[in-house]
Amino acid sequence: MSERNYEAIGRCVVLRKRIEENLCALQKIKSEIVSADSPFLLDGRLCGSHSLVLSIETNANRCRELLDETMQLVSEHNQHAVAAGLNAIHVIPESETF
């Protein structure tokens, strides 16, 4: 049996933790957007017409940055996974998730 590459294993562990942290941050952003007030009519008055849009605008760039960083971390993880003897993380296109 070949000797384990503990440096590669350690890198994979750290990278996977960062990937999971980014995914949690993305989920939090999604929750913030979902919980933003939606416009509604109240006795002939339009209320809360900008809260949802402001939440989306505020979070859109951060969401893109997190997703791009996550994809880069996955790529880096997969480079070390071979040496670590670990499975690669496979990116499944959205069209194939269901």
pTM of the model: 0.83
pLDDT band at 1 (very low <50, low <70, confident <90, very high): very low
- The predicted-structure confidence for 38-75, as pLDDT tens digits, reads as follows 888 999 998 877 888 999 999 999 999 999 999 999 99
Kindly give, in sequence order, each residue whose CB lies less than 8 Å from that of residue 59, ignoring residues fewer than 6 positions away: 29, 32, 33
- Asked whether residue 48 is domain-assigned, the answer is yes
Sign of CA dihedral 9, 12, 14, 20: negative
How would you classify the pairing of strands 40-42 and 45-47? Answer: antiparallel
Q: What is the total count of domains within the chain?
A: 1
Report the pLDDT value the prediction gives residue 19, as an integer from 0 to 100.
99
Domain encompassing residue 51: 6-86
- Asked whether residue 17 is domain-assigned, the answer is yes
Left (φ > 0), alpha (ψ -120 to 50) or beta: where does 39 sit?
A: beta
Residue 88 has pLDDT above 80, yes or no: yes
- Asked whether residue 28 is domain-assigned, the answer is yes
- Asked whether residue 95 is domain-assigned, the answer is no
- Asked whether residue 97 is domain-assigned, the answer is no
Identify which has the larger pLDDT, 54 or 21: 21
Report the pLDDT value the prediction gives residue 95, as an integer from 0 to 100.
79
- Asked whether residue 29 is domain-assigned, the answer is yes
- Asked whether residue 31 is domain-assigned, the answer is yes
Give 9-52 as a DSSP string. Answer: HHHHHHHHHHHHHHHHHHHHHHHHHHHSPPPEEETTEEESTTHH
- Asked whether residue 93 is domain-assigned, the answer is no
pLDDT band at 98 (very low <50, low <70, confident <90, very high): low
